[in-house]
C-alpha cells in the first residue's frame, strides 16, 4: 500500500505532480523543476522529506550497538548536538544504506535513513540488537521539512521562539538543536546551506503553511535530485548499494578503521579489499557537447567498455550534462558515453560539480 505524508493535502493544494517513490506518494514538482532548483541555489526552497525513516535508539547500550553496527565510529561525536554521516554495511562490506546519526546523550541517539531502504534497515537493526541494552523506536509520529538555500536561516527565524533561535543561530554544519519536541539540524541534501526540521505531524503542516505564506517555494523530488547530483551526493540504491563498498563509492572517509580493536559489521571485508587494491571508482563525468546523461548509459575508453553511469541528468547550474559513473581503475581523464548510439566525449572530474 502506498503511504502518504502528512503534507499530501498541501502538495495537492499547490497543484504538485504526485508520483510514487519508494512506496510513498511524493511531489515530483510544483510546475517547474528548473525554477525550484534555481530557487534553492539562489535563495531558498523547502522540501517535504517526511518519507525518511526516523529511528531513536534508547538505552545504556546504544553507543556500543552503533559502534558495532556502523562503519564510522560514533565515538567521534564528543558532545551532544553533534551529527555524523555514516553507513550500514553487510558482512561483505556492501552498503545497505547511508544514514545520519544524531548524538543526544549516551543513552539516546537518533538515526535518519532513507525511505527506499526501510524494509532492509529495520530488520537489520532488530536482527543485531540482541545482546545490547538498547531499545529501537521508529518515530512514525514525526515528519521532516528541509529548508535549503542561502536564505534558509532568515526564513525560519520568524517561526522560532527566542530560546529556539538562540539554539539554532549558532549551529555549525552537522550540528543540531534538541529541546523537548524541538529538533532541527544544519544538514541537507542539496549542496547548499540549510536545515532539516523534525516536527510532529500537526506542527509539520502548520510550519509548512507558515513557510509558504512567507514566500518560501515548495520544491519536489525532481529538483532535489538535480541539486544533490550537482553536489556530488550519492543516491542510495543507485550510486551505492549492497554490491558496492564505501571504497568503491567515494565514501572511504566514512570508514573508521581506528581504533584497531573496534569490531564492526563488514570490517574484515573492507580490510581485505583495501589490502588487495580497489579496482572500481565512482567519478564525475561532464559532457563536452550538448545532451543529457542518464543512468545505465555505458562508458568507454576508446572501444573498451570500462563502466556505466549510476546517476545522470542535465545540470541547470553548469548548463551541461553531468553524471556519476562507476569505472574500472585506473580511471582515465577522458571517456566517451554511448548516448543513443553515439559515443560522446566526457571529462572525468572529482565531484562536486557545483559548490555553494
Calculate mean pLDDT across residues 189-217: 98
The DSSP secondary-structure symbol of 251 reads -
Which residues have C-beta within 8 Å of that of residue 339, sequence separation ≥ 6? 291, 292, 293, 297
Residue 1 has what pLDDT? Answer: 75
pLDDT tens string 24-65? 999 999 999 999 999 999 999 999 999 999 999 999 999 999
Q: Is the same domain home to 132 and 26? A: yes
pLDDT tens string 155-186? 999 999 999 999 998 999 999 999 888 999 99
* Cell digits of residue 74: 560514533
- Domain range for 299 is 279-351
Number of domains in the chain: 2
User: CA-to-CA distance for 81 and 171, rounded, in angstroms?
Assistant: 9
Q: Is the same domain home to 253 and 346? A: no
Number of residues written out for the chain:
356
Domain with 322 in it: what CATH number? 2.40.30.110
Q: What mean pLDDT value characterizes the chain? A: 97
How many secondary structure helices (H) and strands (E) does the chain include? 9, 20
Reply yes or no on whether the pLDDT at 144 is more than 80: yes
Among residues of the chain, what percentage have pLDDT more than 70?
100
Reply yes or no on whether the pLDDT at 216 is more than 80: yes
Domain membership of residue 23 (yes or no) is: yes
User: CA-to-CA distance for 48 and 9, rounded, in angstroms?
Assistant: 12
pLDDT tens string 266-287? 999 999 999 999 999 999 999 9
Domain membership of residue 356 (yes or no) is: no
Query: Where do the H-state alpha helices sit in the chain?
Result: 8-13, 33-42, 62-69, 118-128, 152-156, 162-168, 201-213, 221-230, 267-276
Q: Is the same domain home to 87 and 211? A: yes
* Cell digits of residue 274: 583495501
Domain with 267 in it: what CATH number? 3.30.1360.120
User: What are the two backbone dihedrals, phi and then psi, of residue 276, each rounded to the nearest 5 degrees?
Assistant: -90, -20
Last residue of a domain, one of 222, 252, 276: 276
Amino acid at each position: 500500500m502506498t503511504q502518504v505524508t502528512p503534507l499530501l493535502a498541501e502538495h495537492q493544494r499547490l497543484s504538485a505532480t504526485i508520483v510514487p517513490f519508494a512506496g510513498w506518494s511524493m511531489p515530483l514538482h510544483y510546475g517547474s523543476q528548473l525554477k525550484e532548483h534555481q530557487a534553492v541555489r539562489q535563495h531558498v526552497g523547502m522540501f517535504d522529506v517526511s518519507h525518511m525513516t526516523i529511528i531513536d535508539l534508547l538505552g545504556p547500550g546504544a553507543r556500543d550497538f552503533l559502534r558495532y553496527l556502523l562503519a564510522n565510529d560514533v565515538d567521534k561525536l564528543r558532545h551532544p548536538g553533534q551529527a555524523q554521516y555514516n553507513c550500514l554495511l553487510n558482512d561483505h562490506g556492501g552498503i545497505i544504506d547511508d544514514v545520519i546519526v544524531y548524538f543526544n546523550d549516551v543513552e539516546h541517539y537518533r538515526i535518519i535513513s532513507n525511505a527506499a531502504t526501510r524494509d532492509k534497515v529495520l530488520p537489520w537493526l532488530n536482527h543485531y540488537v540482541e545482546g545490547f541494552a538498547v531499545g529501537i523506536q521508529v518515530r512514525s509520529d514525526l515528519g521532516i521539512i528541509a529548508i535549503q538555500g542561502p536564505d534558509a536561516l532568515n526564513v525560519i527565524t520568524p517561526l522560532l521562539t527566542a530560546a529556539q533561535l538562540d539554539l539554532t543561530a549558532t549551529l555549525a554544519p552537522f550540528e543540531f538543536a534538541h529541546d523537548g519536541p524541538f529538533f532541527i539540524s544544519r544538514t541537507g541534501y542539496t549542496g547548499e546551506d540549510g536545515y532539516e526540521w523534525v516536527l510532529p505531524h500537526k506542527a509539520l503542516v502548520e510550519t509548512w503553511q507558515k513557510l509558504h505564506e512567507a514566500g518560501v517555494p515548495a520544491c519536489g523530488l525532481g529538483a532535489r535530485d538535480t541539486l544533490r547530483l550537482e553536489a556530488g551526493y550519492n543516491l542510495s540504491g543507485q550510486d551505492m548499494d549492497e554490491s558496492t563498498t564505501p571504497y568503491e563509492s567515494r565514501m572511504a572517509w566514512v570508514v573508521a578503521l581506528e581504533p584497531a580493536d573496534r569490531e564492526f559489521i563488514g570490517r574484515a571485508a573492507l580490510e581485505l579489499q583495501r589490502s588487495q587494491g580497489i579496482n572500481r571508482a565512482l567519478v564525475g563525468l561532464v559532457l563536452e557537447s550538448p545532451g543529457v546523461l542518464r543512468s545505465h548509459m555505458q562508458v568507454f575508453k576508446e572501444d573498451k567498455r570500462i563502466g556505466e553511469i549510476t546517476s545522470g541528468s542535465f545540470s541547470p547550474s553548469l548548463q551541461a550534462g553531468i553524471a556519476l559513473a562507476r569505472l574500472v581503475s585506473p580511471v582515465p581523464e577522458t571517456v566517451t558515453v554511448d548516448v543513443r548510439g553515439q559515443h560522446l566525449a566526457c571529462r572525468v572530474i572529482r565531484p562536486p560539480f557545483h559548490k555553494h
